[in-house]
Structure 1
Amino acid sequence: MGLAAPAAAHTPVLLGSDDTVDALDTSPFAPIGTVSFAFYGRTSAVGDTRAVRIQLSRGEPFHAQLLIPDLAPENELPVPQLPRLSILGPDRAVTTLDNTARAPFFEPFTQTSYLTLADTASAAQAGTYTLVVTGSAPARFVIATGDTEQFGAPLVNATAATLSDVQTWYRTPPTSGTG
Structure 2
Amino acid sequence: MKRPSFISLITAFSIFNMGLASAHQPVELGSKNTRADQGPILVDGTVSFALRANFTKANQERGFRASLKQGELLNFEYLIIDKAPENKMPLSKLPTVTITAPDGVKRVVKFTERTNFYEPYGRTNYLYLARFSSTAVEGIYNFSIKSKAKASITVSTGSKETFGQVFQPRVCPNIEQQQTPTVTNAEAATLIGMKKDTASSCAAKLNWIYRIGQEDDQLFALTRDYRLDRVTVVIKNGLITNSLVG
TM-score grouping bracket, smaller chain normalisation: 0.7 to 0.9
**Counterpart position of 2:135:** 123
CA distance in 2, matches of 1:131, 1:139: 18
**Alignment partner, residue 18 of structure 1:** 32
Matched, 1:154 2:165: yes
Q: Kindly indicate whether the alpha-carbon contact (under 8 Å) linking 1:84 and 1:99 is maintained by their aligned counterparts in 2.
A: no
Match of 1:94 among 100, 106, 113: 106
How do 1:98-109 and structure 2 match up within 5 A?
A: 98-109=110-121
Q: Percent identity?
A: 35
Deviations 1:61-96 (A, max 9, x none): 110111111111000001110122211111111110
Counterpart for residue 8 of structure 1:
11
**1:18, CA displacement in angstroms?**
1.7
Please tell me whether the aligned partners of residues 31 and 54 of structure 1 are also in contact (alpha carbons under 8 angstroms): yes
Q: Distance in 2 between matches of 1:99 and 1:45?
A: 21
CA distance, structure 2, for counterparts of residue 18 and residue 131 of structure 1 = 15
Task: Count matched residues.
Answer: 155
Tell me which of 110, 123, 136 is aligned to 2:122: 110
Which runs of at least 4 in structure 1 moved beyond 4 Å after TM superposition? none
Q: Is the 8 A contact 2:37 2:65 kept in 1?
A: no
Residues in 2 aligned to 1:83 and 1:60: alpha-carbon distance in whole angstroms: 27
Query: 5+ residue gaps in structure 2?
Result: 13-23, 170-246
Structure 1 residues not aligned, in runs of 5+: 159-179
Quote the RMSD (CA, aligned, Å): 1.8
Measured at CA, do residues 96 and 25 of structure 1 come closer, stay the same or move farther in structure 2, by a change above 3 Å? closer
2:150 aligned with 1:138, yes or no? Answer: yes
- The DSSP-based 3-state class of the residue aligned with 2:160 is coil
TM-score, scaled relative to structure 1 = 0.80
Q: Which has the higher contact order (CA 8 A, sep 6+)?
A: 1
Q: How far is the alpha carbon of 1:108 from its aligned partner?
A: 1.9
For residues 28-67 of structure 1, the aligned pairs below 5 Å read 28-67=40-79
Q: Could you give the per-residue CA deviations for residues 16-47 of structure 1, whole angstroms, max 9, x where no partner exists?
A: 122112xx443111010000000011122222
Measured against aligned partners, the alpha-carbon deviations of 1:89-109 in whole angstroms (never above 9, x if no partner) come to 111111101125221122222
